[in-house]
């Protein structure tokens, strides 16, 4: 067994696996929310009272408000997923 193989402890590999699982769950949730928001207009009930919804009584206003909230959220989740992926890759490498 080489020194590099011994340096990759089971704890580091387990932590790398945990980072990967969290990354996949985060990206899955983000993808679900993006698809949900994009297809929400298909199920919009124009006859119902929309006065209490985010963005007001129009579909355009609701989409605008959701986009203003969702775009920064998607950017933050992509950044966080990138950080988790880099951390997992560093944990899988032997320490220098």
Q: Where are the domains of the chain?
A: 59-96
> Is pLDDT at 28 greater than 90 in this prediction?
yes
Residues contacting 80, CB < 8 A, separation 6+: 26
Higher pLDDT, 96 or 92: 92
* CA pair distance 77, 66, nearest whole angstrom: 16
> Is pLDDT at 6 greater than 70 in this prediction?
no
Average pLDDT over the chain, rounded to an integer: 82
**Statement: the pTM of the whole predicted model exceeds 0.75:** no
Q: What is the mean pLDDT of residues 62-75?
A: 84
* CA pair distance 33, 39, nearest whole angstrom: 10
Most confident stretch, 39-43, 51-55, 66-70, 87-91 = 87-91
CA angle 2, 85, 10 (to 5 degrees): 35
**Helical pair 59-92 and 10-39, crossing angle rounded to 10 deg:** 170
> Is pLDDT at 36 greater than 90 in this prediction?
no
Please, which pLDDT band fits residue 87 given cuts at 50, 70 and 90? very high
> Is pLDDT at 45 greater than 80 in this prediction?
no
Q: What is the mean pLDDT of residues 22-39?
A: 90
């Amino acid at each position: 067994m080489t020194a590099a193989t011994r340096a990759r402890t089971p704890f580091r590999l387990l932590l790398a696996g945990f980072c990967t699982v969290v990354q996949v769950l985060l990206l899955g949730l983000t993808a679900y929310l993006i698809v949900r928001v994009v297809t929400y207009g298909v199920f919009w009930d124009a006859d119902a009272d929309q006065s209490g919804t985010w963005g007001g009584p129009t579909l355009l206003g609701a989409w605008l408000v959701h986009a203003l909230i969702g775009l920064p959220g998607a950017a933050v989740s992509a950044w966080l997923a990138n950080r988790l992926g880099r951390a997992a890759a560093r944990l899988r490498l032997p320490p220098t």
